[in-house]
Amino acid sequence: MGSEFTFYDYIDANGVNVIRNWLNGDGKPAKMFFTTIIGQLEASPPPGGKDSVWKHPYTWPMKGEWDGFFELRKEASGVQYRLLGQIRNRVVFLVAYGIHKDQYYNTDVTSQTARNRVNQMEDNPAKYRREHGYN
């Protein structure tokens, strides 16, 4: 069976894969989990479908200003690591990351910047997106 979804990482204007850099840096404690779950989500039927894994405990829909986005979460050593993305058709755009520790939640961008990143990835795929790598 082929992939149901294709995951893409956001590439910034300088050509830097911000998702990969984070996973290999501050997000490294959760990297193996994200690698595993992304592989499962790629092969899963769409959200709401029979046998879909696009639900808790793997994904959480975001609300409020982040409506339309989802999170992948992994707790490690008292820190919750999060990848933030959006699904459009069968394409998943990973555009941001965050860390939730104690009562503080920090992400690298605002919700509007995340929306802009998704639009950049759709409008100029050669410049702003790369298929998610597992390295």
Residue 101: what pLDDT?
84
Counting Cα atoms < 13 Å in the Cβ hemisphere of 18 gives 22
Sequence-separated (6 or more) residues with CB below 8 Å from residue 71: 59, 60, 62, 82, 83, 84, 98
Give yes or no for residue 2 having a pLDDT over 90: no
DSSP, collapsed to helix, strand or coil, labels residue 130 as: strand
Beta bridge partners of 130: 9
pTM value is: 0.93
State pLDDT tens for residues 34-73.
999 999 999 999 888 888 999 998 899 999 999 999 999 9
The domain ranges of the chain are 6-125
Mean model confidence pLDDT for the chain: 92
Residue 100: what pLDDT?
87
> Quick one: how far is CA 119 from the chain centroid?
15
Residue 1: what pLDDT?
40
Mean pLDDT (whole number) for 78-87 = 94
CA separation, residue 37 to residues 32, 59, 73, 122, 132 (Å): 9, 9, 10, 24, 13
Mean pLDDT (whole number) for 99-109 = 82
State pLDDT tens for residues 22-45.
999 999 999 999 999 999 999 999
DSSP letter string, 28-90: GGGHHHHHHHHHHHHHSPPTTSTT---STTTEEE--GGGTT-EEEEEEETTEEEEEEEEEETT
